[in-house]
Amino acid sequence: MRKLERVQYINHRLAELYPAPPIPLNHFDSFSLLIAVLLSAQCTDARVNTVTPQLFALADTPEKMARQNVDDIRAIIRPCGLSPQKSKAIQGLSQILVDKHASEVPDNFEDLEKLPGVGHKTAGVVMAQAFNHASFPVDTHIHRLAQRWKLTSGHNVSTTEADLKRLFPKDRWNKLHLQIIYYAREHCQARACFGLECDICRQCFPERKRKLVTHKA
């Protein structure tokens, strides 16, 4: 298949498989989503979902979280990894939300990315899933599959994001990034498909014989 044909097939196939992909991180508002996405760095969504109920029982608003001791936050989120950095970021960004944003999560990239522990990908997830702003956050799953499907050079996540935004319609970005994540987890895992086994890889590259090595995010 040519690239345009691959894009059309992938877009159609993922829409068939996941017509209404749920947000994998449990949350109840933009603040809880922001915290959950921050915790998901180098951690599975499933593990985050086991930790956040206890965290939000402790504090479920920026005001309450800002008043918490960093050590108390760290004790709860330790299973998510990187707990020293994440606990400081959670307490710190909560204080900033109180002081500078009237305790509201900002709905723009510039202010989000100024918050401790919030990079471009985290901001992108919040913009897409909390505020329905067209965004295409690229995680390790998306970065890997975009390379396997030859939609990007894969040199870095910024390049991958730009390439995917150019190839797919803007009104598909928010849903498509979730669809690719679910497909990666269920059908095209890092140590299982290697660009050879799953339906999309086989349909798009029927002549591929060797395992495809991808660049890490």
Residue 118 lies in a domain: yes
Residue 177 lies in a domain: yes
Cβ–Cβ under 8 Å, residues 29 and 65? no
Q: Given pLDDT bands bounded at 50, 70 and 90, which one contains residue 171?
A: very high
Cα dist from 128 to 107, 135, 171, whole Å? 10, 5, 11
pLDDT at 57 (0 to 100): 98
Residues 6 or more apart in contact with residue 213 via CB below 8 angstroms? none
Q: How many CB atoms lie within 10 A of CB 20?
A: 7
Residue 210 lies in a domain: no
Total domain count, the chain: 2
Cβ–Cβ under 8 Å, residues 97 and 67? no
* Cα Rg of the chain, angstroms: 18
Domain endpoint, select from 91, 113, 129: 129
Q: Given pLDDT bands bounded at 50, 70 and 90, which one contains residue 213?
A: confident
Cα dist from 106 to 68, 119, 124, 162, 211, whole Å? 21, 14, 12, 23, 43
Domain endpoint, select from 96, 113, 129: 129
Cβ–Cβ under 8 Å, residues 54 and 76? yes
Q: CA nearest 176: which of 216, 212, 136? A: 136
pLDDT at 155 exceeding the cut of 90:
no
pLDDT at 216 exceeding the cut of 90:
no
Q: Given pLDDT bands bounded at 50, 70 and 90, which one contains residue 60?
A: very high
Cα dist from 38 to 34, 90, 110, 115, whole Å? 6, 8, 17, 11
Could you write out the DSSP letters of every residue in 111-166? Answer: HHTTSTT--HHHHHHHHHHTT--------HHHHHHHHHTTSS--S-HHHHHHHHHH
pLDDT at 1 (0 to 100): 87
Which tens digit of pLDDT belongs to each residue from 112-151?
999 999 999 999 999 999 999 999 999 999 999 999 999 9
pLDDT at 154 (0 to 100): 81
Q: How far apart are the first and last CA of the chain?
A: 26
Q: Are residues 113 and 154 in the same domain?
A: no
Crossing angle of helices 120-129 and 173-186, rounded to 10°: 110
Expressed as residue numbers, the domain containing 48 is 30-129
Question: Which residue numbers are catalytic?
Answer: 121, 139
